[in-house]
Protein backbone atom coordinates (compact mmCIF):
# COMPACT_ATOMS: atom_id res chain seq x y z
CA UNK A 1 0.00 0.00 0.00
CA UNK A 2 2.75 2.43 0.87
CA UNK A 3 4.47 1.60 -2.37
CA UNK A 4 1.49 2.62 -4.49
CA UNK A 5 0.92 5.68 -2.37
CA UNK A 6 4.55 6.67 -2.99
CA UNK A 7 4.18 6.02 -6.74
CA UNK A 8 1.01 8.10 -6.89
CA UNK A 9 2.59 10.94 -4.94
CA UNK A 10 5.68 10.96 -7.13
CA UNK A 11 3.53 10.98 -10.26
CA UNK A 12 1.61 13.98 -8.98
CA UNK A 13 4.77 15.85 -8.00
CA UNK A 14 6.89 14.94 -11.03
CA UNK A 15 4.17 14.82 -13.67
CA UNK A 16 4.78 17.20 -16.54
CA UNK A 17 2.26 19.99 -16.70
CA UNK A 18 1.56 22.07 -19.73
CA UNK A 19 0.69 25.70 -19.43
CA UNK A 20 -1.19 27.31 -22.24
CA UNK A 21 -0.14 30.85 -22.97
CA UNK A 22 -3.08 32.98 -24.06
CA UNK A 23 -2.82 34.61 -27.46
CA UNK A 24 -4.35 38.05 -27.83
CA UNK A 25 -5.15 39.83 -31.03
CA UNK A 26 -6.09 43.48 -31.32
CA UNK A 27 -8.22 44.79 -34.14
CA UNK A 28 -8.34 48.50 -34.86
CA UNK A 29 -11.00 49.94 -37.09
CA UNK A 30 -11.60 53.56 -37.93
CA UNK A 31 -15.21 54.48 -38.40
CA UNK A 32 -16.57 57.84 -39.46
CA UNK A 33 -19.71 58.76 -37.57
CA UNK A 34 -21.89 61.75 -38.30
CA UNK A 35 -23.12 63.42 -35.10
CA UNK A 36 -26.86 63.62 -34.59
CA UNK A 37 -28.35 67.00 -33.85
CA UNK A 38 -30.52 66.81 -30.76
CA UNK A 39 -32.95 69.59 -30.02
CA UNK A 40 -32.53 71.18 -26.59
CA UNK A 41 -35.28 73.81 -26.51
CA UNK A 42 -35.07 74.61 -22.79
CA UNK A 43 -31.32 75.20 -22.84
CA UNK A 44 -31.49 77.05 -26.16
CA UNK A 45 -34.14 79.38 -24.79
CA UNK A 46 -31.84 80.37 -21.90
CA UNK A 47 -29.04 81.57 -24.19
CA UNK A 48 -29.62 84.48 -26.56
CA UNK A 49 -28.28 84.72 -30.10
CA UNK A 50 -25.75 87.36 -29.03
CA UNK A 51 -24.43 85.02 -26.36
CA UNK A 52 -24.05 82.22 -28.94
CA UNK A 53 -22.03 84.58 -31.14
CA UNK A 54 -19.78 85.46 -28.20
CA UNK A 55 -19.35 81.78 -27.29
CA UNK A 56 -18.29 80.99 -30.87
CA UNK A 57 -15.88 83.94 -30.92
CA UNK A 58 -14.29 82.93 -27.61
CA UNK A 59 -14.00 79.32 -28.85
CA UNK A 60 -12.09 80.44 -31.93
CA UNK A 61 -9.85 82.64 -29.79
CA UNK A 62 -9.21 79.70 -27.45
CA UNK A 63 -8.12 77.63 -30.45
CA UNK A 64 -5.74 80.43 -31.50
CA UNK A 65 -4.45 80.70 -27.91
CA UNK A 66 -3.68 76.97 -27.83
CA UNK A 67 -1.87 77.18 -31.17
CA UNK A 68 0.17 80.26 -30.20
CA UNK A 69 1.29 78.69 -26.93
CA UNK A 70 1.98 75.31 -28.61
CA UNK A 71 -0.41 73.40 -26.32
CA UNK A 72 -1.71 70.04 -27.54
CA UNK A 73 -5.41 70.04 -28.26
CA UNK A 74 -6.76 67.40 -25.92
CA UNK A 75 -9.97 67.44 -23.89
CA UNK A 76 -8.08 67.95 -20.64
CA UNK A 77 -5.99 70.81 -22.03
CA UNK A 78 -8.99 72.54 -23.63
CA UNK A 79 -11.01 72.39 -20.41
CA UNK A 80 -8.10 73.51 -18.24
CA UNK A 81 -6.91 76.32 -20.52
CA UNK A 82 -10.54 77.34 -21.14
CA UNK A 83 -11.09 77.77 -17.40
CA UNK A 84 -7.81 79.68 -17.07
CA UNK A 85 -8.60 82.04 -19.94
CA UNK A 86 -12.10 82.66 -18.55
CA UNK A 87 -10.61 83.64 -15.20
CA UNK A 88 -8.08 85.94 -16.89
CA UNK A 89 -10.75 87.79 -18.92
CA UNK A 90 -11.36 85.51 -21.88
CA UNK A 91 -9.26 83.93 -24.60
CA UNK A 92 -9.81 86.85 -26.98
CA UNK A 93 -8.48 89.25 -24.35
CA UNK A 94 -5.38 87.14 -23.77
CA UNK A 95 -4.46 86.91 -27.47
CA UNK A 96 -4.97 90.65 -27.88
CA UNK A 97 -8.17 90.63 -29.89
CA UNK A 98 -10.09 92.48 -27.16
CA UNK A 99 -8.43 95.70 -26.11
CA UNK A 100 -10.35 96.48 -22.95
- One digit per residue, the tens of pLDDT, for the chain of length 100 reads 778 877 777 766 655 667 788 888 999 999 898 888 888 888 878 888 899 899 999 999 999 999 999 999 999 999 999 999 999 999 999 998 876 5
Q: 74 by DSSP, 3-state: which?
A: coil
The verdict on residue 30 lying in a domain is: no
The verdict on residue 7 lying in a domain is: no
Distance (Å, whole) CA 92 – CA 65: 8
DSSP characters over 28-54: ------PPPP---HHHHHHS-HHHHHH
Number of domains the chain is built from: 1
Let me know the angle formed at the C-alpha of 20 by 15 and 25, rounded to the nearest 5 degrees.
175
Q: Which domain holds residue 99?
A: 48-100
The verdict on residue 78 lying in a domain is: yes
Tell me the pTM.
0.56
The verdict on residue 42 lying in a domain is: no
The verdict on residue 22 lying in a domain is: no
The verdict on residue 17 lying in a domain is: no
Amino acid sequence: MRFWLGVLTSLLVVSPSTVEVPYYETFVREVEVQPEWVETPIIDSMITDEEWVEIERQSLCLYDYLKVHDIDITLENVLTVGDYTDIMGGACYLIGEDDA
